[in-house]
Structure 1
């Protein structure tokens, strides 16, 4: 299966997870010249910028370990631009990482999901 389709499946799985927890998905795959944010969601208190990491397992390393300082900085800059473009957004921003572990790829019936709130600031 192509990586872009697999990645999209992971992002859709994460979005469904957030909806079940009463988040509203504001944007998916927000792109600008500075970078990309997988999901932007909001709940009662926060506007959440979400990086989704899809892995078959955590045997090599946990997915969060692939969100290094460089990636965090790119997400922060992209979020700043999003907020400038959407001044109506007045909620406190937060940066989360959602790890989706799917041992059988898109055929995984019950992927393990770990939601790391406020993963970096």
Structure 2
């Protein structure tokens, strides 16, 4: 009896996906999150935690942008047949992210509550192609804005196909 209890406890504490095969959708999601993280690092954000999970939900990336704690939702769509990736962050998803962020703040940031925001990274197309195109665009953008004092980071729209395949929406929604 004690052996069975210990075995169940060990199973309950082990990572959940170790016995499952990774589906193509899961692999694309992970690749998209890596591309989003890389993109945000290039914009000057610092990674705090990836894939934060709690009873309230999951936050893909938690990053720091100067004095702001940034909760990032990464959305990926291979095509826009059923809507763009950014359109999938509906009110229900926003509320779930807010609850998870509140839980994070209550458990991890007990002593001081930093200014927070919710960003969305929306990625259209194949993640590997998106990452390569993103890197090329980032290099071009840095060259073009190197001497422009008015150039700032900010939202990039996927509606203009010549722009970045990664759409960054800072302050996508609020509490």
Give TM-score, length-normalised by structure 1.
Answer: 0.90
**2:48 pairs with 1:61:** no
Q: Distance in 2 between matches of 1:101 and 1:6?
A: 11
Supply the RMSD in Å over aligned alpha carbons: 1.6
Aligned residue in 2 for 1:28:
50
How many equivalent residue pairs?
119
The structure 2 residue matched to 1:19, chosen from 41, 45, 48, is: 41
Aligned residue in 1 for 2:124:
101
Aligned to 2:133, the other structure's residue is in SS state coil
* Higher RCO, 1 vs 2 (CA within 8 Å, ≥6 residues apart): 1
Query: Which structure would you say has the larger Rg?
Result: 2
Greater strand fraction, Structure 1 or Structure 2? 1
Give TM-score, length-normalised by structure 2.
Answer: 0.63
Structure 1's unaligned 5+ residue stretches are none
Greater helix fraction, Structure 1 or Structure 2? 2
Structure 2's unaligned 5+ residue stretches are 1-22, 135-164
Q: 1:61 to 1:4 in 2, by over 3 A?
A: same
